[in-house]
């Protein structure tokens, strides 16, 4: 928005490329300042020629005299927060801040302000924790915890998290990255508006959910500073729209169905993993003995994958592989990921495209839910309510 305003005052042509999960309000605001907006598909890898990143590069290359701003590698971003945001927070808290919580998007705020606050705290003989809430589906938590990450998945919170590492994010100043679900983010944003008079967007909900978790961890008497990322008027059609919240499964269904964790707690089974180097014939044997059709696999640190019986059948029947080949050769990136605190309504949505929902908690597969599991859980709940 700042670029659109600056371009308008100077008479520059300004072109933005954004993924289609962004709100219509954002698009309309940019256009109001005279900017052009190109909308691309959300679920494309950033290297895909039709992703918003590659489209932006292409437009810049084809436009004489154009400047590709590339916010993900603009080091003036964290520098600006080091020079302004950090000092403002330090002064406002009289240097008594205990924890700084803000989202990880480009990483400029947390890297710049976090660096400043840690430096000032060390000079004062104190310490400041820097915490970054991250949506389930983003790669940042896994990247921070393990140095590598598995395939990202779709999440609906805007302007926070990412599917690739950026140059403006400095993990060295961060103490912890915590996952927050879309549902928790949107409900927190609505709670802030209704109970605190703070009208902010879904990413602020992500941050404040993480900030409350941090405050509970530190205990009474501590000062936790959280950053409000965006104004709520850009999300009237999203998290502040009851129909959208209901359509996305973020409303009442969990009150009678429960959460993913509720279902997992009712099961007695444990997740059985396939080993990357075991032959496919062994995987088939395990599946037959356990009565399952897929097995998760961990390759290295944090690379989560799935081996499915249909993939084995296609690979072997098609002659591409033999039963002696290693399972890793046909393992695919995880699809249909869901967090433990998501509603079972969200699991139902995953079933529209995937056979199972894979429960991932802090980078680890903790459960696999199929349609029968869901039906059995609902049946059990109905019996208990009768």
Name the pLDDT band for 234 (thresholds 50, 70, 90). Answer: very high
Return the higher-pLDDT residue of 385 and 336: 336
pLDDT value of position 180:
93
pLDDT value of position 67:
93
pLDDT value of position 101:
98
Burial class (CB in 10 A: 0-12, 13-18, 19+), 381: middle
Return the higher-pLDDT residue of 301 and 362: 362
Give per-residue pLDDT as tens, 43-99.
Answer: 777 788 888 889 999 999 999 999 998 888 999 999 999 999 999 999 999 999 999
Measured CA to CA in angstroms, residue 3 lies from 7, 65, 109 at distances of 6, 16, 17
Per-position b or e across 249-282, b if 16+ CB within 10 A of its CB: bbbeebeebbbbbebbeeeeeeeeebbbebebee
pLDDT value of position 309:
92
pLDDT above 70 coverage of the chain, percent: 97
What is the arithmetic mean of pLDDT over 229-258? Answer: 81
Name the pLDDT band for 252 (thresholds 50, 70, 90). Answer: low
Crossing angle (nearest 10°) for helices 344-351 and 371-385: 150
Q: Lowest-confidence range among 5-9, 301-305, 380-384? A: 301-305
Name the DSSP class of 362: T
pLDDT value of position 363:
76
pLDDT value of position 163:
86
pLDDT value of position 384:
76
Domains in the chain and their CATH numbers? 2-69 (3.40.50.1100), 76-247 (3.40.50.1100), 256-385 (3.10.580.10)
Question: What's the rounded Cα separation, in Å, for the pair 261 and 339?
Answer: 9
What is the arithmetic mean of pLDDT over 135-158? Answer: 88
CB neighbour list of residue 319: distance below 8 Å, 6 or more residues apart: none
Give per-residue pLDDT as tens, 278-309.
Answer: 999 999 999 999 889 999 998 866 678 899 99
pLDDT value of position 210:
95
What is the arithmetic mean of pLDDT over 110-126? Answer: 97
What is the arithmetic mean of pLDDT over 177-181? Answer: 93
């Amino acid at each position: 928005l700042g670029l659109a305003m600056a371009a308008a005052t100077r008479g520059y042509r300004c072109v933005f490329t954004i993924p289609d999960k962004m709100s219509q309000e954002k698009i309309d605001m940019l256009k109001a300042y005279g900017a052009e907006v190109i909308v691309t598909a959300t679920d494309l890898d950033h290297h895909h020629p039709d992703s918003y990143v590659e489209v932006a590069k292409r437009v810049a290359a084809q436009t004489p005299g154009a400047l590709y701003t590339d916010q993900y590698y603009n080091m003036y971003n964290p520098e600006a927060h080091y020079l302004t945001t950090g000092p403002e927070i330090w002064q406002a808290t009289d240097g008594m801040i205990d924890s700084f919580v803000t989202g990880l998007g480009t990483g400029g705020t947390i890297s710049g302000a976090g660096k400043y606050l840690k430096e000032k705290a060390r000079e004062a003989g104190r310490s400041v924790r820097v915490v970054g809430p991250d949506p389930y589906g983003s790669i940042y938590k896994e990247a921070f915890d393990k140095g590598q990450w598995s395939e990202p998945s779709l999440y609906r919170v805007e302007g926070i998290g990412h599917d690739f590492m950026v140059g403006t994010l400095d993990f060295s100043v961060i103490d912890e990255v915590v996952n927050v679900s879309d549902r928790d983010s949107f409900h927190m944003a609505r709670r802030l508006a209704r109970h605190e008079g703070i009208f902010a967007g879904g990413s602020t909900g992500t941050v404040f959910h993480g900030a409350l978790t941090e405050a509970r961890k530190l205990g009474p008497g501590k000062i936790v500073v959280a950053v409000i990322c965006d104004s709520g008027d850009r999300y009237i059609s999203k998290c502040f729209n009851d129909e959208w919240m209901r359509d996305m499964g973020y409303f009442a269904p969990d009150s009678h169905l429960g959460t993913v964790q509720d279902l997992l707690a009712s099961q007695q089974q444990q997740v059985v993993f396939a080993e990357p180097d075991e032959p496919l014939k062994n995987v088939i044997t395990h599946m037959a003995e356990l009565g399952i059709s897929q097995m998760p696999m961990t390759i290295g640190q944090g690379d989560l994958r799935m081996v499915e019986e249909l993939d084995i059948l296609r690979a072997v029947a098609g002659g591409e592989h033999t039963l002696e080949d290693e399972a890793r050769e046909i393992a695919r990136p995880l699809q249909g990921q869901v967090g433990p605190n998501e509603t079972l309504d969200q699991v139902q949505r995953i079933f529209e495209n995937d056979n199972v929902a894979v429960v991932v908690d802090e980078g680890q597969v903790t459960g696999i839910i199929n349609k029968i599991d869901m039906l059995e859980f609902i049946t059990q709940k109905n019996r208990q309510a009768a």
